[in-house]
Amino acid sequence: MRTIREYSKALAAKRLSAGELLDASLAAIDADLVHGGATYTHIDRLAAREAADASDAFRERGYVPSALAGVPLSIKDLFDIKGQVTTAGSRVLCGAPPAVRDAAAVARLREAGAVFVGRTNMSEFAFSGLGMNPHYGTPVNPLHAGLLAGGSSSGAAVSVALGHAAAALGTDTGGSVRIPAAFCGLTAFKPTARRVPLDGAVPLSLSFDSVGPIARSVDCCALLDSVISGQALDTAPRPLERLRFGVTYDYVADDLDETVTTAFHRAVGMLRRAGASVERFAFPELHEVAGGNPLAGITAAQAWAWHREHVARDADAYDARVLKRLLAGQGRSAADYIDLLAARERFVRDARARLAHFDAWLLPTVAVVPPAIAQVDRDDAAFFAMNAKVLRNPSVVNFMDGCALTLPCHDENELPVGLSICGPALADASILAIGRSVEALLRQRADVAPA
């Protein structure tokens, strides 16, 4: 599977049709199913075929609404698609009525001419960073069998990595597009939350929920972001020698996997040699915030407000581990909740002040490489410990109301590792622009690496 831009050019030159693209996509999906893949909760072949045929007919008449026209995309099973049931990776909502309209982001992608191949599997109600699902099966890491694909947008990342879709629409509350992208060797972008409407998406935490893409390149992410946000940002590459990056060893560098440490330091060294300024800075507020874990407290409280009636009626239908996290919000007092929100406001101010001197903040996207499914699933203690470790770094960006891009930075013989390029709220254009330059540098190394 190539990038969106490459497909768009092939479609424009009539070297490919949307129908042929869909044929290849469905063939890849069928191959995955034959091998027991758990990438989707629903595949809508008929609607996808109608959309592809319509795209080809429109193109023949000269109507091409965007670079996404005729390109296959997957949609996380958290978004409403007209006529389909949104299950959010759960059995709890299986009996819900079909959606009467598309979610806002889905509607914008449809208007742009995208072809939707299916609803991707996920952690139930997006409440885990590992991507495991006892109801629909757990999507397996497409690069290394037996390892997790990451979550909560697990099926979304797998759909892109296996060539089912050119890109995937996901959500990110504490890292849910960036974790699976990092684990599957892909690129993902978490925008400033307020930029993309959440209408028609099942909520987890309205304070932190973001809508973003998983794809194969920064350019793909920028293209999708422009559609789902309705904003055409200037993301032209920035000269690396003019950029000033910040690196901190407070909290986000604690207890890193050896492969992650090696890949991160290698990427930082490449940037320095390319002329970028990379400076170490102190960020002690990270440890202060981590002590009370206010993001988890706010998320649990907000999630409980949405789920309490479902839990009262149908608790047994929930993934037991998700239910345990939901119940943590049940006893939260109003005073405690207000204190957590105040802690978040303080951290947003502190983070903006700490990062004001830099063009971007660099950190490892996830502290570990993809863990083995068997290792994490052996008991609840192992599951919750690994879940917390996987969520630790990316969730900081959600808590500071920021934006972030993750790029693969591992060597071919290493397990997947993501490099995060982060900024404060509404620095999206700058982060995507910087990401283009960093991506080009990292790919230059891959191009010269020995086979």
Question: pLDDT digits over 114-135, tens only?
Answer: 999 999 999 999 999 999 999 9
CATH code of the domain containing 121: 3.90.1300.10
pLDDT at 4 over 70: yes
32 within some domain: yes
The answer on 255 and 164 residing in a single domain is: no
CA distance 451 to 438: 22
164 within some domain: yes
Q: Give the strand pairing for 210-215 and 167-172.
A: antiparallel
The answer on 152 and 14 residing in a single domain is: yes
**pLDDT score at 446:** 65
* Integer angstrom CA distances of residue 318 from 33, 90, 108, 311, 387: 25, 7, 32, 8, 18
How many helices (H) and strands (E) in the chain?
A: 15, 11
Cβ 195 vs Cβ 206: under 8 Å: no
**pLDDT score at 451:** 33
Encode pLDDT of 250-297 as tens digits: 999 999 999 999 999 999 999 999 999 999 999 999 988 777 789 999
Encode pLDDT of 12-49 as tens digits: 999 999 999 999 999 999 999 999 999 999 999 999 99
The answer on 170 and 257 residing in a single domain is: no
The distance in angstroms from the start CA to the end CA of the chain is 21
The answer on 268 and 139 residing in a single domain is: no
Segments forming the whole domain that contains residue 104? 4-229
Encode pLDDT of 438-448 as tens digits: 999 999 976 64
Write out the E strands in 44-112: 72-76
- Among 111-125, 224-238, 432-446, whose mean pLDDT is lowest? 432-446
Closest by CA position to 319, among listed 308, 330, 311, 329:
311
CA distance 45 to 440: 36
pLDDT at 360 over 90: yes
The answer on 259 and 213 residing in a single domain is: no
The answer on 164 and 122 residing in a single domain is: yes
Number of domains in the chain: 2
The answer on 75 and 128 residing in a single domain is: yes
Encode pLDDT of 197-208 as tens digits: 999 999 999 999
The encoded tokens of residue 51 equal 């959309």
The answer on 224 and 256 residing in a single domain is: no
Active site residues: 76, 152, 176
**pLDDT score at 46:** 98
Average pLDDT, the chain: 96
DSSP string of 113-173, one letter each residue = T-EEEEEEP-SGGG--SS---TTT-PPBPSSSTTBB--SSSHHHHHHHHTTS-SEEEEEES
**pLDDT score at 450:** 37
Cβ 183 vs Cβ 257: under 8 Å: no
**pLDDT score at 1:** 57
The answer on 101 and 48 residing in a single domain is: yes
Whether the upstream peptide bond of residue 8 has omega within 30° of 0, thus cis, is: no
The answer on 59 and 120 residing in a single domain is: yes
Residue where a domain stops, chosen among 229, 257, 277: 229
- Among 82-91, 274-283, 343-352, 441-450, whose mean pLDDT is lowest? 441-450
pLDDT-based confidence at residue 418 (cuts at 50, 70, 90): very high
Q: What percent of the chain stands above pLDDT 90?
A: 95
**pLDDT score at 448:** 45
Average pLDDT on 164-172 reads 98
Sign of CA dihedral 356, 362, 368, 370: positive
**pLDDT score at 290:** 74
Encode pLDDT of 372-406 as tens digits: 999 999 999 999 999 999 999 999 999 999 999 99
Closest by CA position to 368, among listed 150, 95, 42:
150
The encoded tokens of residue 278 equal 């990379």
Q: Give the strand pairing for 403-408 and 418-423.
A: antiparallel
